[in-house]
Amino acid sequence: MVNNIFVYGTLREGERNHWLLKDTNFKGTYETEPEYELRNFGPFPGMMPWGDTSVRGEVYEVSDDLLEDLDYHEGHPSFYNRTKIKLKDYSGEIQAYVISDHPRYQDKLPVIHSGDWKNR
């Protein structure tokens, strides 16, 4: 099965963990609907399902096996939760790694107001 995954941080092209996606099909650069908040955790960002920011990222087609590897890498479901999201100008089903169960982070980490990890 093919899965579409939206990545917005260290998995993006040019970032340190992009090597995990080297053999995948890049589908383009997109932005989420303005329903999120992007926080800076220092070495990586966290997209949270509250707020009014559009987060910028890239969409890749990944196999079930690679999705399982990404789940492990991203700490799903104990840290990030892989969940369905909505993107502007994208009609297919898409998932992303979102932080929703860690409210203690909400007020302690800097907000990335641009919604773009590469423009933090």
Active site residues: 74
CB of 54 closer than 8 Å to CB of 116: no
DSSP 20-77: GGTTSEEEEEEEB-S-EEEEE-SSSEEEEEEEEEPPEEEEEEEEHHHHHHHHHHHTTT
Q: What is the four-CA torsion angle of 63, 20, 61, 13, rounded to 10 degrees?
A: 180
- At 9, the amino acid letter reads G
Residue 117 is classified by DSSP as G
